[in-house]
Structure 1
């Protein structure tokens, strides 16, 4: 199966699909599946724009609405996660996952599905320590604070994802998507690879040297799940590294210096300043070492970071290419002494050495969809049951430029052929985890207590038996047999074909002429998912 992966979408769906069509034409192959690593911006109308955390001048409809209202159809099965610039109201409707448009599937705030037997899992949002241990308390209309906190990843999501089966050399390849990078993933890079990153992003140097670039809970998940591939975005730069779980031939771990501790401040020409006092100096982190570590059931055989490495990071220096909402938390003070960077178990001196064998996770960070950026990669993954299937997938990474030529744009509008589509099915392991943790999801600031790891695994095993008995009697369940796309909100008022407008749906302008946040919609896909699992639908309460 040939899979394309894209970094930050920022609403540029036409360009992404066109770039893939160009790659297909130039290389004489067909891409079967597209994965997008967040900042998707599923904006249906002007009201949704008010639920996206960006400055007013960046509130643009983008291109997604064309696929939502049926003007265009996604030519490739597309699976997405959320980032920190999203129409959060729409994603909340599909908390457990669902079709945001025909042929475009959202994994949910956390989720896992199977595509032709390949497990594709993901975590939406970004990490902020002061919301990590809280519940999902945000409700529409979102306050300024809640407009940001809703996309902060929660401990419950990490705990659930950590209960997925870990990969092994003999298992089918698994793929994980995140918006954030796992913290300190750069410590696994060769000196030349790291220096190349810092030449492109010199403002990362201090965070890299202090071992605090990225998300601590995601590093824990990486150490637990060990997927064959891990793709991220968010930092708007391409970066590749292999994390070895078994030492490759003729390769040994080495130490490398991370450079001088004194960093000269580098001005960033792309920076978009946002004056945001949403949390101010009073915000506190509630994440302790023991609490965060307990969220991740790390096997004793897994090479894990020292416990101190899981402490919440210091407030980051301004992240340039971000629409600087990352989260403007420079005012938040953490009284925490950071540890030195992690020492990787094995350091690879060559990025993708030919003929190399061994068990590893290939981490790939991708950029946003702009010219001269590494925003798109295409890989080959052997699926279970295929003649060429082996315990490790082959890879043929390809980068692309965004394409906007009319002829190629026309190619992307072709109707999809059901017979040629890969098969998207529910992941029975994730269904079991969802049932097991359903009563532990909190809709208030106060998170309910979680079971310990042993109890949680017993709960999941019990629910997996239930899933196999009640849902999978005749094999895997296709997602489309349970969830069908339904338009819950209108399209844009200002676009022909849109049915928006005040009085039609409640989406309209306030007394000051500004667009208001829309009402909360109940999504039939969430209702259908909950009926399948025989659990209550707390999303639409």
Structure 2
């Protein structure tokens, strides 16, 4: 499946879709799905602008409202997560995920879905330690503090995501903390020298996201936020074998080295996939770690026609078993959508055999489905969802996983279909703008009221859980 990944959107949907169409025409393929790693800015009207934490000069209506009203339609299925510059009122209304416009789906504050069987999980927002262990207490109208804290990632969502089995793709806005040491750090600091102090202090990125990366071990991890393209590879395996691959494909960080050290061998700065505005060769695979068995003499060949006596069988040496393959997470961060920036990339991700997207050579529309395991996690952890300032006491991991297994059996029995379109349908909940008259209306300087979204109620009804987003 052809997957396009965008870094920070900043409302530039027209430019992003135009770049995708240009790549399709130039290379003769069709993109199946677009993933956007935050700062999407789903602004429905001028009042939504008052819920976005940006300087006044950046409070612009943008282009999303045309997709929201149907004046324009996304040319490709688009999945998005939230960043730190969002119309937070709209994303709260779809906390569990939902269609924010036709063919544009928000994964929620945390979520996991499937596209043709490929599991795609994501976490919205950025990490701030003072809010990580707080509840979801923010409500419109936001003040200066809550307008920002609402997009700070919570422990509740990290714990829920940690209960998933490995997804193929994970999306975040923040970088996982320490990911810079698994790539070409010298290249990164040449491009972004102001990162140097944070790297030295070990505070660049999000600590809980790095924990998630090591727990979930996805094949791909895509991020944005820091406005540059950066590639890394995290190897998952025994400490003696784990190593990291820089942008040139060479080993740059071995187990046991100081992760805060900046003096790292320079790499070539090349990456995988197709980046907008540049042609990039694929990185070379990681060199295999030498096995001790490789240093021994090869065993003598065994004659298949020889008759072996019982007491001779044990004397014939059998070849050593091959070492287990190492798993790796390929990390790619992308820039924001601006001319001559590396903001878009195309990668090929194989579909499971039972979810082929083409029939008799003809490409069919990708199918968006709920992930049954995530539905089970949602049911198992819903009673712990904090809607006040304080979080609740969470169960031990073993108990939480047992609860997920129990709820997965419930999901398989009671959820008759996992196709998203058969549960949730896009609905216009807030009035669209009238650019000719609204910009001068004093009321447009006010924050919007809360708009209950039928998609949230439909999701909660499907899982038979309380709708805590739209309390009666």
User: CA separation in 2, counterparts of 1:91 and 1:38?
Assistant: 12
User: CA separation in 1, counterparts of 2:143 and 2:355?
Assistant: 54
In structure 2, the residue matched to 1:490 is 431
Matched, 1:444 2:388: yes
User: CA separation in 1, counterparts of 2:58 and 2:455?
Assistant: 30
Superposed, 1:113-192 pairs within 5 Å as: 113-166=113-166, 174-189=168-183
1:244 CA drift (Å): 1.2
User: CA separation in 1, counterparts of 2:245 and 2:172?
Assistant: 28
Report if the CA contact (8 A) 1:188-1:348 is conserved.
no
Secondary structure of the 1:374 match is coil
User: CA separation in 2, counterparts of 1:143 and 1:354?
Assistant: 50
In structure 2, the residue matched to 1:509 is 442
In structure 1, the residue matched to 2:422 is 481
In structure 2, the residue matched to 1:105 is 105
The alignment yields a C-alpha RMSD, in angstroms, of 2.8
CA shift digits 1:262-287 (9 cap, x unpaired): xxxxxxxxxxxxxxxxxxxxxxxxxx
- Unpaired runs of 5+ residues, structure 2, are 247-254, 272-281, 289-325
User: CA separation in 2, counterparts of 1:244 and 1:348?
Assistant: 20
1:120 CA drift (Å): 0.3
In structure 1, the residue matched to 2:470 is 540
CA shift digits 1:436-473 (9 cap, x unpaired): 1111001111111111101100111110000000014x
In structure 1, the residue matched to 2:296 is none
Matched, 1:368 2:336: yes
User: CA separation in 1, counterparts of 2:42 and 2:364?
Assistant: 26
Describe the shift of the 1:255–1:4 C-alpha distance in structure 2 as closer, same or farther (beyond 3 A): closer
In structure 2, the residue matched to 1:425 is 369
1:509 CA drift (Å): 2.2
CA shift digits 1:59-116 (9 cap, x unpaired): 0011100100110000100000000000000000000000000000000000000110
In structure 1, the residue matched to 2:320 is none
User: CA separation in 1, counterparts of 2:428 and 2:245?
Assistant: 54
In structure 2, the residue matched to 1:238 is 229
Secondary structure of the 2:377 match is helix
User: CA separation in 1, counterparts of 2:75 and 2:427?
Assistant: 19
In structure 2, the residue matched to 1:270 is none
Describe the shift of the 1:495–1:92 C-alpha distance in structure 2 as closer, same or farther (beyond 3 A): farther
1:341 CA drift (Å): 3.0
Secondary structure of the 1:480 match is helix
Report if the CA contact (8 A) 2:177-2:209 is conserved.
yes
In structure 2, the residue matched to 1:467 is 411
Q: Point out the structure with max Rg over C-alpha.
A: 2
Report if the CA contact (8 A) 1:81-1:108 is conserved.
yes
1:206 CA drift (Å): 1.2
TM-score, reference length from structure 1: 0.71
User: CA separation in 1, counterparts of 2:346 and 2:235?
Assistant: 22
TM-score, reference length from structure 2: 0.81
Give the length in aligned residue pairs: 405
Secondary structure of the 1:217 match is helix
In structure 1, the residue matched to 2:95 is 95
1:195 CA drift (Å): 1.4
